[in-house]
């Protein structure tokens, strides 16, 4: 059986390629987004006052095959750091935490039928929720892509 540290290093190596491709500003469907990351491997892509949130590629790789995603409802409010959902994989179950405070304005319903999409599109089409942010100043406490890459490298050692 592989050791946890070996698995972490393997996941980290695969995920760094994804993180390395990210920049502070990414494009999704023609729109510009500023991307921010939490130490717990959630992301928020900001477009005005709307933040698109989900788990990072590093997180999905560590979890393995995603088999279930539990998401909140439109109108639910969450404080930064509060659990707003969960993911279950063949390896583990994990809470997903709000990277910023806000109100859910849209939920990615396709994940109910296709939770495995998170494994192939974690930071793209497999976003979890869109929230109207309450305090954009909270973004200052999150990591940019470069800082997140460093965080993942350190976590792997």
Mean per-residue pLDDT for 58-62?
A: 95
| Cβ-contact 84, 96 below 8 angstroms | yes
Q: How far is CA 123 from CA 36, 57, 114, 134, in A?
A: 11, 6, 15, 22
Mean residue pLDDT of the chain comes to 85
Nearest-5° Cα angle at 80, 75 to 86? 70
Radius of gyration, CA atoms only, the chain: 15
**Sequence ranges of the domains in the chain:** 4-155
pLDDT tens digits along 130-139: 999 999 999 9
Mean per-residue pLDDT for 63-79?
A: 98
Fold of the 4-155 domain: OB fold (Dihydrolipoamide Acetyltransferase, E2P) (2.40.50)
Residue 78 to residue 131: CA distance in whole angstroms: 9
Q: What is the pTM of this model?
A: 0.80
């Amino acid at each position: 059986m592989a050791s946890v540290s070996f698995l972490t290093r393997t996941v980290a190596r695969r995920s760094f390629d994804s993180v390395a491709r990210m920049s502070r500003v990414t494009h999704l469907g023609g729109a510009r987004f500023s991307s921010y990351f939490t130490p717990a491997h959630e992301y928020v892509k900001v477009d005005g006052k709307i933040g698109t949130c989900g788990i990072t590629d590093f997180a999905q790789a560590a979890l393995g095959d995603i088999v279930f995603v539990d998401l909140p409802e439109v109108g639910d409010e969450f404080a930064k750091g509060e659990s707003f959902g969960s993911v279950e994989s063949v390896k583990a179950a994990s809470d997903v935490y709000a990277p910023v405070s806000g109100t859910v304005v849209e939920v990615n319903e396709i994940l109910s039928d296709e939770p495995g999409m998170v494994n192939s599109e974690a930071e793209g089409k497999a976003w979890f929720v869109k929230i109207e942010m309450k305090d954009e100043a909270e973004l200052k406490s999150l990591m940019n892509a470069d800082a997140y890459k460093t965080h993942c490298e350190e976590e792997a050692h």
